[in-house]
Amino acid sequence: MSYRIHWWADIHRSAQTNLRLGCTLCGIAGATNAGGFLAVGQYTSHMSGILSSVADHLVLGEVQLAIASVALLMAFVLGSMTTAWMVNWSLRRQMRSAFARPLLVEAALLLLFGIFGASINSFASLFVPLTVLLLCFIMGLQNAVITKVSHAEIRTTHVTGLLTDLGIELGKFFYINRSQFGQKVVANRAKMRIHALLVGSFLAGALIGAYGFKVYGYISTVPLAILLMVVTWGPLLDDAKNGRLVQGPSEKPSVATLVPGGD
C-alpha cells in the first residue's frame, strides 16, 4: 500500500489514506460549493435546505420552483447512484481503479465547467439550471465515493453531520467527571481530530474557491480537476498496464468482499 498522492484512490485502504483522501475531497467540495454559489447563486451540497425548499414552494403554491428543487435532489441521488454502479462494477472485475473512476468523471465535469463556464453568462436562462443540476450531481458522486471508501465513517459534503459529531466529542472532552461512580466520560480524540480536519478542509476549500472564482472566474475549477486526476492516476495506470482498464480478468467477487457494499 502506497501513501503517495496518486494512490489515494486505490482499493487497498488504510485509515491514513482515507483521511487524506477525505480532506482532499472536502476541500474540493468546499471550493465547488462556494464557487458554484458565486456562479449561479445556489449552494449545491445542501440537500437539507433544498428538501425544505420543496415544502416551502408547495405550500406557497410555487409548483414550478418545487419541481426544480426536486430535480436538484434527483441529480444528487443520481450522482450517488452513478458512483455505486461504477464502484461495484469495477470491484467485481478486480479493478484497482474502482474508487478512482467516479473521481475521474468528477474531474472531467469540473474541467468542462471551468472551460465552458463563460457560456453561462451568455445563455443564462438555459445554462444556469443545467449548471446547478451538474454541480448537484458532482456533489452526490463525490460524497458517495468517500462514503464507500471509508465505510460511511467520512463524508465530504455533509458538514452538518461533521459538526454534529465534532460537537459530541467536544462535549465529552469538556465534561468534568466529578463523581466516583459509573463509567467516566472520555472523548475520542482521534475522531475529534478527524472531524476537525474535515471541517477545516471544507472551509479552506470554500475560501479558495470563492476567492478563485472572484478573481479568475470559471477557470478556477480547472486546478480542482487536475488535483482529482492526480489522485486517480495510480490505480488507473495500474489497470491499464495489466489489461484491466475496460474488462477485468474475471467475474470472481474476491476483491469486492474486501469492501462492504460490493454487489
- pLDDT tens per residue, range 50-90: 999 999 999 999 999 999 999 999 999 999 999 999 999 99
Which of 22-31, 64-73, 148-157, 189-198 has the least mean pLDDT?
A: 148-157
pLDDT in tens, 100-112: 999 999 999 999 8
Distance in angstroms between the alpha carbons of the first and the last residue of the chain: 24
Share of the chain above pLDDT 90, in %: 65
**pLDDT exceeds 60 at position 16:** yes
Q: Of the given ranges (45-54, 82-91, 113-122, 166-175), which has the lowest mean pLDDT?
A: 113-122
Amino acid 170: pLDDT: 96
The residue type found at 218 is Y
3-state secondary structure of 163: helix
Instruction: Go through 123-162 and write b for each residue having 16 or more CB atoms within 10 A of its CB, e for each that does not.
Output: eeeebbeebbbbbbbbbbbbbbbbbbbbeeebbbbbbeeb
Cell of 202: 471544507
- Spatial distance between the Cα atoms of 110 and 104, rounded to a whole number of angstroms: 10
- For residues 248 and 242, what is the distance between their CA atoms, to the nearest angstrom? 9
Residues 220-236: tens digit of each pLDDT: 999 999 999 999 999 99
Please state the rounded mean pLDDT for residues 250-258. Answer: 45
Ranges of each domain in the chain: 15-154+201-242
> Is residue 251's pLDDT more than 90?
no
Task: Look at the chain and count its residues.
Answer: 263
pLDDT at 2: 58
pLDDT beyond 90 at 249: no
Mean per-residue pLDDT over the chain, rounded: 88
Q: Which of 24-28, 52-56, 249-253 comes out lowest in average pLDDT?
A: 249-253
Which residues have a Cβ under 8 Å from the Cβ of 17 and sit 6 or more positions away? 1, 3, 7, 8, 10
- Show Cβ contacts of residue 111 under 8 Å, excluding neighbours closer than 6 positions: 221, 222, 225
